[in-house]
Structure 1
């Protein structure tokens, strides 16, 4: 497999070009949203300037929008390996999750159980907790191990029982980067015929995804996390999708996946989504788009893991730093959360923005159950560095230099 040509890849991102008078920012905020690939920008611009129209008209620009929606579904289907009729779009992952939760009302009754986790972003917790509250169902949490930053999966048989009707689990933490063994969770859930929701928002940008192989019922992700625009994606197994009682307008389509897409879609974002997937495809090789996408993601993963090894080695040897990262042997995305005793997280990220033009995030990142359990809220949450394929070894080394300077200023 060819290695990623990072210099050529960086040229595909307009935000990395800087200007005549200012160098570009160094973007270490991938988990909060990646920069947009040129192919995505071009797709959106072509749609906007080429004649915008809504769906289902007889005139050419409307037919073009119909085709754009169909192509968007096919592109996502190849990206995550599902059927195109299982792909629906919406404002964002959170909005889609709440809409789906409302549609699942008939599947949940009083005395049923819903299982969520202490690690997840609240977008994969609160929609299902709200559903449980509405129906009088009980909520159980898969606990976080505060020492390994992984989920405690040894009690799945006790947590997921014959009463369990829905299990929601994140594929990868947007804070610690921990990649959970969701196949183990899915297998147990399926033993009791529970619906399984997988939050793959933080996973899709970093690894190949196979919806069919996973065997979950619902998979959620967002294009702005993988080099595209702000648009949410829901993949719902057709066998479940057909049964969903979606809240919608009476004349709106009844068939899947259209019935979940209430109102006018963000058509230009669909064009950008296709461009983002094209960007990934162009990094890979293969006989068809699916193969090229898998190959492209593998190259992204390989490059990111090389940078991860360097940054992980540096952060682990800093004495005045607490790194929230699973031990060796646990697979992780290139995402690092840490705190510095006695220093507010925002103080650190502001210093790096002002002195090194680095975009480093701070906060709880909506993983508030984990933030509360680990006690980071009083200091403003975590400091988080999230790498993307356009990051370089030189940028990582510059962060190391900057961090040492920052700590020197606090000791003097």
Structure 2
């Protein structure tokens, strides 16, 4: 890409320069499990820690700076996701925040209500809502996966989401197959029956522009460590719902949003790192203000990753021993590939990739475990997953090609 300087991008990630015992640079193809941290995120964390840490709302300088840090972070997330700063809350991770929010929704869900989740989702956007159903007497329904297209089957949406539906939870993009789901259709149908809408954007935010206002969902979750920052969960909750959400908190704690959801002392150094991660995305774009530069930066990331997608997809589909679990060409997808190798246990393959080529590639169910009920894959170790980030290159894919072909030759001939 003309506007995407890959060497400059790679130079922003110090982990890429750490060699293994064989003096081989690592190749991180595990982006869906968490990206490497960008230097600006590291710098902001170290700056906060080394210049004096403090808790909030005191009169001395380090406390005032911490107050300002949280305000800065919420404003940055607001520009990244096109939401209001007062709609942004931080927590330990997406899973913990989802359980916290589901617990808060108990008084708004009644026995006999229906809660809708999907077969394609990471369990972090399934189990909190199943738990909510169990505690309230609601019924759980699933939007099924079309086994042929690896997409959500929305043909029966009107029958799945009914007048009894109180909440609908869906993922914007699968962390397993990369499928980008048509969540707009799901949200539209949910609104017709006045159901709450929850989006898991953990695997979406790192790869394409996510617009909370345009999506018009009620709740959205994402995680900073999936887009070049530290381990930190982010919840965006529409102000009208947030104001009436009955959260559990200490009596003296603030009751105004978004602080009422942020129980206890937050991970201030992680929040500082989040600011740095967002500034890294901003540095990849152009525009008159931060919001424009972030949108442009995400467009550049997406365009670069699309070039990697084309190369990898062509290669994997040409290997007879590989079964690729991938949606058709006309379906939008992130640079995330799930596949199996005939006659080779997935753990054996990823161990070979790691030990011989220093390729960081995961295997298993990746917490999209409902999909293992749709596709019988766990007897041979589940899926092998390759996922790209903007620091990955075509040259790294060439090394993977060599590694996969050698793996097949060695294991199958043996």
Q: Could you state the TM-score of these two structures normalised by the residue count of structure 1?
A: 0.99
Counterpart in 2 of 1:217?
218
CA contact (8 A) 1:148 1:326 kept: yes
CA contact (8 A) 1:2 1:299 kept: no
Shift of 1:341: 2.3
- SS of the equivalent of 2:131 reads helix
- SS of the equivalent of 2:57 reads coil
- 1-structure distance, mates of 2:257, 2:41: 26
| Residue 15 (structure 1) aligned with residue 19 (structure 2) | no
| Residue 82 (structure 1) aligned with residue 83 (structure 2) | yes
Counterpart in 1 of 2:195?
194
- SS of the equivalent of 1:242 reads helix
Shift of 1:19: 5.0
- 2-structure distance, mates of 1:210, 1:54: 32
Counterpart in 2 of 1:395?
396
- SS of the equivalent of 1:193 reads coil
Counterpart in 2 of 1:101?
102
Shift of 1:2: 4.3
- 2-structure distance, mates of 1:158, 1:346: 40
- SS of the equivalent of 1:338 reads strand
- 2-structure distance, mates of 1:2, 1:248: 50
Counterpart in 2 of 1:327?
328
Moved more, 211-220 or 366-375: 366-375
- 2-structure distance, mates of 1:57, 1:215: 37
Counterpart in 2 of 1:3?
3
- SS of the equivalent of 1:197 reads strand
Alignment of 1:235-384 (within 5 A): 235-384=236-385
CA contact (8 A) 2:178 2:335 kept: yes
CA contact (8 A) 1:3 1:303 kept: no
- 2-structure distance, mates of 1:370, 1:285: 39
CA contact (8 A) 2:344 2:412 kept: no
- SS of the equivalent of 2:142 reads strand
Root mean square deviation, CA, Å: 1.0
Shift of 1:402: 1.0
- 1-structure distance, mates of 2:19, 2:351: 22
Q: 1:154 to 1:279 in 2, by over 3 A?
A: same
- 2-structure distance, mates of 1:141, 1:372: 13
Counterpart in 2 of 1:176?
177
Shift of 1:401: 1.0
Counterpart in 1 of 2:111?
110
Shift of 1:334: 0.1
Q: Deviations over 1:123-165 (max 9, x none)?
A: 0000001001100001000001111110000111000011100
- 2-structure distance, mates of 1:127, 1:332: 26
- 2-structure distance, mates of 1:156, 1:217: 19
Shift of 1:24: 2.4
Shift of 1:373: 1.3
- 1-structure distance, mates of 2:407, 2:20: 28
Aligned length: 412
Counterpart in 2 of 1:404?
405
- SS of the equivalent of 2:55 reads coil
- 2-structure distance, mates of 1:379, 1:146: 19
CA contact (8 A) 1:93 1:233 kept: yes
**Which blocks of at least 5 consecutive residues in structure 2 are unaligned?**
none
- 2-structure distance, mates of 1:366, 1:7: 33
- 1-structure distance, mates of 2:381, 2:57: 49
CA contact (8 A) 2:20 2:358 kept: no
Counterpart in 2 of 1:32?
33
- 2-structure distance, mates of 1:246, 1:360: 39
Moved more, 16-25 or 78-87: 16-25
Moved more, 94-103 or 365-374: 365-374
Q: Deviations over 1:269-316 (max 9, x none)?
A: 000000000000000000111110010000000000001100000001
- SS of the equivalent of 1:346 reads helix
CA contact (8 A) 1:15 1:24 kept: no
Q: Could you state the TM-score of these two structures normalised by the residue count of structure 2?
A: 0.98
Shift of 1:260: 0.2
Moved more, 15-24 or 46-55: 15-24
CA contact (8 A) 2:347 2:363 kept: yes
| Residue 207 (structure 1) aligned with residue 203 (structure 2) | no
Shift of 1:20: 10
- SS of the equivalent of 1:183 reads helix
- 2-structure distance, mates of 1:31, 1:20: 22
